[in-house]
Amino acid sequence: MKLEFIALERLCISKANMRWSKKAPDISDILPTVRKRGVIQPVIVRLCATAAGEAENGAPEYEIVAGSRRFHAARAVWQEKRTAGDADAECAALPCAILDEGDDADAIEASLIENAARRDPAEVAQWEAFTRLVKEGRSVEDIAATFGLPDIAVRRVLALGNLLPRIRQLYDREEIDRATVRHLTLASKSQQRAWLALFDDEDAYAPVGHQLKAWLFGGQSIPVRHALFDQQASGLVIISDLFGEDAYFADAAAFWDAQNAELDTRREAWLDAGWSDVVIVPVTEHFSVWEYEKAPKRKGGRVYVDLRANGEAVIHEGYLSRKEARQRASGQSEAERPKIVRPELTSALNIYVDLHRHAAVRAALLDRPDTALRLMLAHVVAGSSLWSIRPEPQTARNEEVAHSLAASRGEALFSERRRAVLALLGAEPDEPHLVGGDDVPALVTLFHRMLDLPDAALMDIVGVVMGECLASGGAAVEAVGLVLGVDMGQWWEGDDAFLELLRDRELLGALLADVAGEGVAAANAREKAKTQRRILGDHLRGENGRQARVGWVPRWMAFPPSAYTARGGVGTVRAHEAACAAANAAQDGEDDPVPPQGGAALPDPDGRDETGQQISQQEQRLAA
């Protein structure tokens, strides 16, 4: 095979080319590149059936086996230049790789290999190439023209540079999809690092796709395109995704303030224009168009504004309910028809009245903490537009862990108390949750029921509500456990699920020494983990001649917790350090040191630390 530049008029398309057709192929995607840079990759050709020396005058000498679209693109550019009067247009030639003489099978294989092996570069590979071009001085417009891409497509690829390198690697390896990457471009670097931490944690869930957008915006994302007001003049903070496709308001509450103000202005304009009324359909309701009929202004038509949770305001001009439309169609005289009058208060006046009454009520609540407490509890349980509280899901991916929790004494007692509270409030006792339960009464109903309850019953509700909303594995659990002096030996006992989770031989040896003594641990140090777990279980249950250890709990389960090794990775110990640090910060004017991250001298199960001293001042404060 040899390489030569061959004039276009000496070339034609071979029928062995897999892209051969009487109709010219689509070259729109490569034409801009050929127009700007010419054909760079050689086409594959062979001599025509008639030897080159015997070819008729003007007949092609070579046929293209692979490279049909490049040939047609080059000819289109050549024709453009000829039309424009370019003197060099006659010299147009293509770089060609000339096949040795052979049969049609060789040509077909060459065509198939070149076309089938072609693969569009991944976006990350494009980003690396485009980035190098930008560093060399190429503009986005130059790159777009060279590769035949829209400017926005080039900017979208370059936007990948604003992601952390690890996220680009995950995208390049197709471990995350394009929707996830697109939403990650909305995230700050700290949010990207937080998402990566979730992605790397086997026990955590890293949100993807639209769930990721909800995670970034705290559950409510409002696109800029839904604003009725002037976004630029509003001064609101707008976050755009770096692909240039979407933009969102950073503060949902500020958006609704501006949106409602604009709606008030438009409402007055609609009324002045002759519409009988303007009805704002709140987010909690929906405008069902099949329940209404079209009606013009002169027949009393209204304007309905259907608000959506994502900020969109769908405007329906000229509608009446079907009932009103039927009354008008029944032939009633004008005097018999109910007159449509404007409401007594305008929207702005209604807001004025609402705000002043709100200010008075909340000021009056200051002197009635008993009523405020009942109202607060009703909000926690039933929720409102301003309250979003969720119960701890107690998620356990391991089925045995879930069964162990369900059978524990603490869970049984809490479920019993929850059932009693649900019955007290008139809800179905078998509801899995009090907070946000499907059968829980509405907010105001719940508030009135709580007004009739004595303080003792109210305190029962407080305990269940707080228990449901206490996040597992955090410093709050540690702080409350220390304050209440929780003895885990009264609430937990070793079961099969606990034993099956023990895999580390060093940890098993330490647990055996703690439960059975150093002698038993040393004698079984070389035994398999399965044998060590069996011995540990025998001691916990008092079986097979082993002495039972009633009330024993692992160090990291006790209050306060400690570790068996210096390797770290104990969640309760980290939570304990955070709780101690918070207690220290709460003491004004004292200089007790905050326990260092991952290296504090923590107390053992007997209440002494590694030096034999009593627990620290921070722990004493928490337990006081």
- Which pLDDT value is given to residue 89? 57
Q: Which residues are within 8 A (CB) of 489 and not within 5 positions of it... i.e. 6 or more apart? A: 550, 551, 552, 553
Closest CA to 186 of 211, 166, 163: 163
Q: Write phi, then psi, for 549 (nearest 5 degrees).
A: -105, 85
**Can you give 523-549 as a three-state secondary structure string?**
HCCCCCHHHHHHHHHHHHHCCCCCCCC
Question: Which residue bears the tokens 């639209």?
Answer: 210
CB 609 within 8 A of CB 601: yes
Token reading at 397: 């991916």
**Long-range Cβ pairs for the range 86-90 (8 Å, 24+):** none
Q: Which residues are within 8 A (CB) of 324 and not within 5 positions of it... i.e. 6 or more apart? A: 295, 300
pTM for this prediction:
0.44
CB 546 within 8 A of CB 555: no
Q: Write phi, then psi, for 319 (nearest 5 degrees).
A: -135, 150
Sheet strands side by side (includes 222-223): 222-223, 247-249, 238-240
Token reading at 510: 């330490």
CB 470 within 8 A of CB 477: yes
- Which pLDDT value is given to residue 154? 79
Give the Cα separation of 161 and 185 in Å (integer). 10
Low-confidence ranges of the chain (pLDDT < 50): 52-55, 103, 116-117, 119, 589, 591-624
Pairing of strands 11-13, 62-66: parallel
What CA–CA distances, in Å, run from 196 to 96, 157, 233? Answer: 49, 21, 36
Amino acid at 479: A
- Which pLDDT value is given to residue 604? 42
Give the Cα separation of 49 and 63 in Å (integer). 9
Residues paired with residue 230 on neighbouring β-strands, in sequence order:
none
Closest CA to 70 of 118, 104, 2: 118
The residue count of the chain comes to: 624
CB 286 within 8 A of CB 280: no
Give the Cα separation of 185 and 250 in Å (integer). 14
354 burial class (0-12, 13-18, 19+ CB within 10 angstroms)? exposed
Give the Cα separation of 255 and 231 in Å (integer). 9
Of all helices (H) and strands (E), which one includes residue 80?
A: helix 68-83
Where in 538-599 does DSSP place strands (E)? none
Radius of gyration of the chain (CA): 38
- Which pLDDT value is given to residue 552? 92
- Which pLDDT value is given to residue 448? 92
Give the Cα separation of 602 and 387 in Å (integer). 38
Amino acid at 124: V
∠ at Cα 135 (134, 136), nearest 5°?
Answer: 90
- Which pLDDT value is given to residue 413? 93
Give the Cα separation of 604 and 27 in Å (integer). 76
353 burial class (0-12, 13-18, 19+ CB within 10 angstroms)? exposed
Sheet strands side by side (includes 302-307): 278-281, 302-307, 313-321, 292-294
What CA–CA distances, in Å, run from 29 to 37, 69, 71, 73, 144? Answer: 14, 10, 14, 10, 11
Q: What is the dihedral of CA 262, 264, 269, 270, to 10 degrees?
A: 110
Give the Cα separation of 308 and 39 in Å (integer). 53
Token reading at 140: 């986005």
Q: Write phi, then psi, for 94 (nearest 5 degrees).
A: -115, 145
- Which pLDDT value is given to residue 462? 92
Q: Write phi, then psi, for 561 (nearest 5 degrees).
A: -90, 165
Give the Cα separation of 486 and 480 in Å (integer). 9
- Which pLDDT value is given to residue 606? 42
What counts of helices (H) and strands (E) characterise the chain? Answer: 26, 12
Closest CA to 66 of 139, 126, 10, 116: 116
